Amino acid sequence: MKKINRKFVIVASLSLVLILAVLLWAAETQKTSPAAKKIATFKYQDLVWQVPQVGKEVKRVELKNGIIVYLKEDHTLPLFNVQVLINTGAVYEPAQKAGLAQLTGTVLRTGGTKSLKPDEINQKLEYMAGSVETSIGTEAGRASLSILSKDTDEGLKLLADILRNPTFNKDKLQLVKDQLKEQIRRRNDTPGSIINREFYKTIYGDHPYGRSLEWDNIKSITQKELAGFHQKYFQPHQIMLGISGDFKEAKILQKLEKVFGDWQKKEMDYPSKPKVEKKFKPGIYFIEKEINQSNIMLGHLGSDLNNPDQYALSLMNFILGGGSFSSRLTSRVRSDEGLAYSVGSSFPFTTQDLGVFFASCQTKTKSTCRALSYMLDEIKMIRENLVTEEELNTAKDAYINNFVFRFTTTEQIVGLLMGLEYDKRPADYYKNYLDNIRKVSAKDVLRVAQQYLHPEALTIYVVGHKADFDESLEELGKVTEIALVPPQVD
């Protein structure tokens, strides 16, 4: 027995010595190498990023006929891009012709020009591996050209031809009408489409912001009316061009004068834009649809895009429901209660007149009223107490850290700065943006929550199958049921 023990002790001792040797060797090899020591002595300047500004990184020029041009060279890749803003929009179309602006913006590109048939335009772009896109939204017309820089001359010539000389081919117009007809026919297929349409219609009434397309209006719009809308609003002094990419400034200005310079402006009086009626429309509205998930949307009129309180409001909304998993709505309704996969809020500053604050949620049918109640609770609570420093700092960090990514490409930079002028925002808006975010206090957040959020004035919409609700919506107040009428597309 003693002999065995001595052998065990010897083996154990040798093993221990071996382990210690390995550890000492590992420690020795992990010592800082001479190269690593040298690298550690290197010193780097702090990375300083400046917000791009007009007159510095981006140049602004006005052509003789009034076209405003923003330019920024970027020779990294042999690409050439043009962004176009046109002072027009659906806000200027007659109510009985709702869809005229949209049709004009679409067929502008697809309908050919006085010198080129629709297919010829497509063939030219395909040959050059380029693209031209056009559209008209609620408050702006847009166009774009993306092309290889070697084809700049041909690309600019084509873009100018489309903007100046469209013919709105009848067959192409009918094709777009047929596509819109199908969209209208299917607009009640999804609860998201239903709730958005009816919610904004209730909030805005007859204002263009709340209009939805109807087939009777679309089918009545003629080729002549598209041409008239174009002729009225596509004037050189109402157009802005944003040029970015591989070009030389002096040469590109000469080329712009060549293709746009003889475009003579015609003085016109813009019709006055209809004003949003600043009136809340509280109520609970229900639309029956036999689905296993309810859609909830609630809100009221918010703010226009030039409100000085927008910084505090943006942070307030981030904390309430715009900050994804860090927001109160997501924490309460999704994380804590497990009632929804998607829930959040928005307080946008994207419209020249009053926009809409809203919160939305998709939840199981059997938890509809409970989810809605929690959403209402959170809106009320953010008006009652100061947000925490942690919440405020998280919101600020999100805005500050994401800000630089708005300016990732030269095209983005030019578009953002050109957009400031179009929207009549201060030229130093982005220069001062981060400071305006940083100086918002918890008291500011509480102040704007109390001033701009009105729980008693909410327009509340629910789309779902009420037979399976956890309780009656009437427990929350009087309910107006809206029948889901099949669209007229005959």
Domain ranges of the chain: 59-260, 283-481
Q: Give CA angle at 385 (379, 389), nearest 5°.
A: 105
DSSP notation for 225-260: HHHHHHHHH--GGGEEEEEEES--HHHHHHHHHHHH
59-260 and 283-481: same fold?
yes
- For residue 459, give Cα distances in angstroms to 200, 208, 316, 358, 397: 10, 19, 20, 9, 32
> Roughly how many angstroms between the first and final C-alpha of the chain, as a whole number?
104
Find tokens 């009129």 and name the residue.
301
For 369-422, give the DSSP string.
Answer: HHHHHHHHHHHHHTTTSPPPHHHHHHHHHHHHHHHGGGGSSHHHHHHHHHHHHH
The DSSP secondary-structure symbol of 469 reads -
The CATH superfamily of 283-481 is Metalloenzyme, LuxS/M16 peptidase-like (3.30.830.10)
Positions of the chain with pLDDT under 50? 1-4
pLDDT value of position 13: 63
Question: According to the model, what pLDDT value does residue 34 have?
Answer: 73
Tell whether the torsion through CA atoms of 402, 58, 79 and 143 is positive or negative.
Answer: positive
* CATH 3.40.50.970 corresponds to the domain 59-260: no
At residue 267, the pLDDT reads 82
Report the chain's mean pLDDT, rounded to a whole number. 93
The contacts found for 3-8 with CB under 8 angstroms, 24 or more apart, are none
Q: Among residues 91, 111, 90, 109, which one has the least CA distance to residue 99?
A: 90
Reported pTM: 0.88
Q: Output the pLDDT for position 2.
A: 43
pLDDT at position 1 is 41
